[in-house]
């Protein structure tokens, strides 16, 4: 990692992050939690929304004054393009920076159940974080960056019933 990103690195961080729909953000700590998060790029920084009901969970320990590592994927190949270190700032609800970021976040938020009042809900129940680039690492990664998926209640825990293929095959045969 370089101490200060050069102009070309800053431009690369901005362009790659803007084009990527998701970024992987690692929180601080000895064993950082990494999550794929949607974001927007506003005023030279990535902005995240989360930790509220129905919104994306943010990595543990990610808060005001923390340092995070942001990994950006290549839009065409899906692999790691670059990683950059960010200084995290929590934005105060209804402040000027918060309003600017939320205006962009609102346009990117898909399938919101309360589209008309979601910004009020965000101010009450969610956090908006600004991730300012501090340094960039444009070198290719060493080794695999694969990680096991995080635990979720959405995981199927039972095998497919033995009779299911026969039922599907029989139904398809009758329909012909």
Q: Would 135 be classed as within a structural domain? A: yes
Q: What total number of domains does the chain contain? A: 1
Q: Would 146 be classed as within a structural domain? A: yes
**So what's the pLDDT on residue 176?**
53
Is the predicted pLDDT of residue 2 greater than 50, yes or no? no
Q: Would 36 be classed as within a structural domain? A: yes
Identify the domain containing residue 144 by its residue range: 7-175
Cβ neighbours of residue 135 under 8 Å, at least 6 residues apart? 1, 2, 3, 4, 5, 84, 85
Q: Would 1 be classed as within a structural domain? A: no
Please give the residue that has the higher pLDDT: either 29 or 98: 98
What is the side-by-side strand order in the sheet with 80-90? 34-38, 22-26, 67-73, 80-90, 127-137, 45-50, 40-42
CATH of the domain at 138: 2.30.110.10
Q: How far apart, in whole angstroms, are the C-alpha atoms of residue 51 and residue 127?
A: 6
Pick from 7-11, 83-87, 133-137: least confident? 7-11
Is the predicted pLDDT of residue 92 greater than 60, yes or no? yes
Q: Would 2 be classed as within a structural domain? A: no
Q: Would 149 be classed as within a structural domain? A: yes
Q: Would 69 be classed as within a structural domain? A: yes
Give the count of beta carbons closer than 10 Å to the beta carbon of residue 32: 16
Q: Would 74 be classed as within a structural domain? A: yes
Percent of the chain with pLDDT over 70: 91
């Amino acid at each position: 990692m370089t101490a200060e990103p050069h102009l070309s690195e800053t431009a690369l961080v901005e362009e790659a992050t803007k084009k990527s729909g998701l970024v992987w953000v690692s929180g601080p700590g000895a064993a950082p939690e990494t999550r794929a998060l949607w974001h927007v790029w506003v005023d030279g920084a990535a902005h995240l929304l989360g930790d509220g009901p129905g919104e994306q969970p943010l990595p543990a320990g990610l808060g005001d004054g923390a340092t995070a590592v942001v990994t950006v994927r290549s839009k065409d190949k899906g692999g790691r393009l670059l990683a950059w270190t960010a200084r995290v700032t929590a934005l105060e609800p209804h402040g000027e920076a918060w309003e600017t970021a939320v205006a962009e976040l609102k346009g990117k938020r898909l399938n919101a159940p309360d589209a008309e009042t979601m910004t009020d809900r965000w101010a009450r129940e969610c956090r908006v974080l600004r991730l300012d680039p501090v340094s960039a690492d444009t070198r290719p990664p060493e080794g695999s960056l694969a990680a096991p998926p995080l635990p979720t209640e959405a995981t199927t825990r039972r095998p497919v019933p033995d009779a299911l293929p026969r039922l599907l095959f029989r139904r398809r045969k009758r329909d012909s």
